[in-house]
């Protein structure tokens, strides 16, 4: 018997409108989607289709104009700003395209920084597991400037996972990386889902990156247009072509 689980994150009828009058843009239009616990979901779509806007709304970094976003059993729009800040800090991990590490801190200090800021004692065993998995044990005392882009992004992934968040949101995490570094970072995110039951939601332009996910959602014009389970780079590319004339060439 399968037990219905509450999704890690849920968007219900989410609309995001920017601007007014002639400059008005509906970046998201009544979008509904569930993001299951322990799943790796990729969000794809043409440029301007609303991917980043969706990620920001799901992560409580931006407010929908209408609709609801739930993280677990909490509806974000009901939260006062302070509680929303705490929820982002305690229950959500972030990985950005630009790494966003603190240059004056070592790799290890960057990884534990969110826990330090929250005044939380790190779960040493979990931290050790995460650090072993990113494969940077010998680089922990290095500053970000002494690490390659791929190594910096793996540190950023470890930082996102250090608090064992309910969900990790990754916005183009491999956008600045070569193919080997991308494979390292995506392999790490994939293992965090497979082996540790983490939940990852990732925006990407890259069909190969999306193929690491369990499921790909395709947006176009702020709407959910298609969905693939167990994607391969080929099936992702084919779906992209059917949605975006620019990809079809
Ligand atoms: N702060 C803003 N003010 C006005 N319009 C915005 C703002 N942010 C996004 N938009 C518009 O909303 C739409 C969706 O943008 P969004 O960045 O979410 O798309 P995207 O799919 O992530 O694009 P890309 O792949 O190019 O990063 C676009 O038309 C964009 O111009």
Q: Domains of the chain by range and CATH?
A: 38-60+80-244 (3.40.50.300)
pLDDT single digits (tens) 110-157: 999 989 988 888 889 989 988 988 888 889 999 999 999 989 989 999
- At residue 122, the pLDDT reads 84
| pLDDT, position 249 | 64
> What's the chain's average pLDDT?
92
Average pLDDT over residues 48-68: 95
Q: How far is the CA of 52 from the centre of ligand 1 (A)?
A: 7
Question: Is pLDDT of 2 > 60?
Answer: no
Residue with the smallest CA separation from ligand 1 atom 12 is 27
Phi, psi (rounded to 5 degrees) for 176: -105, 15
Among 96-110, 121-135, 153-167, 206-220, the least confident range = 121-135
Ligand 1 lined by 204 (C-beta under 6 Å): no
Helix axes 124-134, 179-194, angle to 10 degrees: 150
Whether 57 has a pLDDT exceeding 50, the answer reads: yes
- pLDDT of the residue at 1: 45
pLDDT value of residue 165: 93
Q: Which of 88-97, 200-209, 238-247 has the lowest mean pLDDT?
A: 238-247
* Ligand 1 mutation pick, 26, 42, 46, 51, max ligand atoms within 8 A of CB: 51
Q: What percent of the chain has a predicted confidence (pLDDT) above 70?
A: 98
Using a 6 Å cutoff on CB, does residue 191 contact ligand 1? Answer: no
CA of 66 to the centre of ligand 1 (A): 17
Going by alpha carbons, the residue nearest to atom 6 of ligand 1 is: 18
- Sign of torsion over alpha carbons 225, 68, 165, 157: positive
* Tens-place pLDDT, residues 5-16: 789 999 999 999
Residue 28 makes CB contacts below 8 A (sequence gap 6+) with 14, 15, 16, 50, 53, 54, 57, 64, 222
């Amino acid at each position: 018997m399968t037990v219905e689980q509450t999704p890690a994150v849920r968007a219900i009828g989410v609309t995001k409108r920017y601007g007014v009058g002639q400059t008005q843009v509906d970046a998201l239009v009544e979008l509904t989607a569930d993001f299951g616990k322990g799943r790796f979901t990729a969000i794809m779509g043409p440029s301007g289709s609303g991917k980043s806007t969706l990620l920001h709304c799901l992560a409580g970094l931006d407010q929908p104009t209408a609709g609801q976003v739930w993280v677990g059993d909490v509806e974000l729009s009901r939260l006062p700003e302070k509680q929303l800040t705490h929820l982002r800090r305690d229950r959500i991990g972030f990985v950005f395209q630009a790494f966003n590490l603190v240059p004056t801190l070592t790799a290890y200090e960057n990884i534990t920084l969110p826990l330090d800021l929250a005044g939380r004692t790190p779960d040493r065993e979990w931290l050790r597991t995460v650090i072993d998995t990113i494969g940077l044990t010998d680089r922990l005392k290095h500053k970000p400037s002494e690490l390659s882009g791929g190594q910096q992004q793996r540190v950023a992934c470890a930082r996102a996972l250090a608090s064992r968040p309910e969900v990790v949101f990754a916005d183009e995490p491999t956008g600045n990386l070569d193919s080997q570094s991308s494979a390292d970072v995506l392999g790490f995110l994939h293992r965090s889902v497979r082996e540790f039951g983490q939940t990852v939601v990732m925006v990407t332009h890259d069909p190969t990156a999306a193929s690491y996910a369990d499921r790909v959602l395709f947006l176009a014009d702020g709407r959910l247009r298609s969905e693939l389970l167990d994607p391969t780079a080929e099936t992702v590319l084919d779906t992209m072509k059917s949605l975006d004339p620019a990809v079809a060439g």
